[in-house]
Structure 1
Amino acid sequence: MINREVVGAHYGLRDWLVQRVTAVIMLVYTLGVLAFILLANGASFEAWQQLFAFTWVKVVTTVSLFALLWHAWVGIRDIWMDYLQHVGLRLTMHVLTLLWLAGSLVYMIKVVWGA
């Protein structure tokens, strides 16, 4: 009997599921925005302001943008793990990616919630 040591992060099923769920969230949000654009018939800035005056729109937008950032993290992390063999470079790229995504999250909250 051969003892085989399995290595790796074992993210497979969880990452696959995260990618699918976040993609569905983004798709539903995108279809909602497209429906607003088509039904608003040349919506003005004031119409967009009225739409985003509703708290539920801000919450749905925040959830969708958070899904986008999580989706991006899983995808980019997998790219770094698959294609960057040098551990130091891979760690640097992971940290830079996390910083970029964290900055995007802060900016997203500022834009959506006006904080």
Structure 2
Amino acid sequence: MNKNYGSQRIVVGAHYGLRDWLSQRVTAVLMALFTIVLLAQLIFGAELGYVRWAGIFSSQWMKLLTLVTVLSLAWHAWVGMRDIWMDYIHHVGLKLVLQVATIVWLVACAGWAIQVLWRL
């Protein structure tokens, strides 16, 4: 039975919306958890100085939580920036350049943060 109403086009990429929405929410919750833990360490700890700051990040669980937060932040930023580039940049070549530049920038920032974290 043929229907002669509605759209006959095939929608591609629509299933990515839920995954992106969910990843934004999960990474936001992880970043909020990290913020709460860090604020608790700062508020209930001793006087803030280099020794105290280095002490906060010296334990393995805090290094792991910080690593997860840095990776979550990078993924969160990537999903947001990718959506902005896809929605507002219409020239394919410029869109590709901006997406690659964003990936390079986020990987470099995450790598630098990890290097700083594990140097403590």
Shift of residue 41 of structure 1? 4.9
Identity %: 48
Equivalent residues in 2 for 1:6-17, closer than 5 Å: 6-8=11-13, 10-17=15-22
Separation in 2, partners of 1:106, 1:5? 40
Matched, 1:99 2:104: yes
Aligned length: 115
Shift of residue 10 of structure 1? 3.4
Unaligned runs of 5+ in 1: none
Of 19, 24, 44, 1:19 maps to 24
Matched letter for residue 37 of structure 2: G
Q: Runs (4+) of structure 1 moved beyond 6 Å?
A: none
Unaligned runs of 5+ in 2: none
User: Aligned residue for 1:80?
Assistant: 85
Q: What SS does the aligned partner of 1:42 have?
A: coil
Shift of residue 8 of structure 1? 3.5
Preserved CA contact (<8 Å) 2:41 2:56? no
Larger Rg: 2
Matched letter for residue 25 of structure 1: L
Separation in 1, partners of 2:114, 2:51? 21
TM-score (norm 1): 0.92
Separation in 1, partners of 2:47, 2:55? 14
Shift of residue 37 of structure 1? 1.4
Separation in 1, partners of 2:58, 2:42? 17
Of 93, 96, 114, 1:109 maps to 114
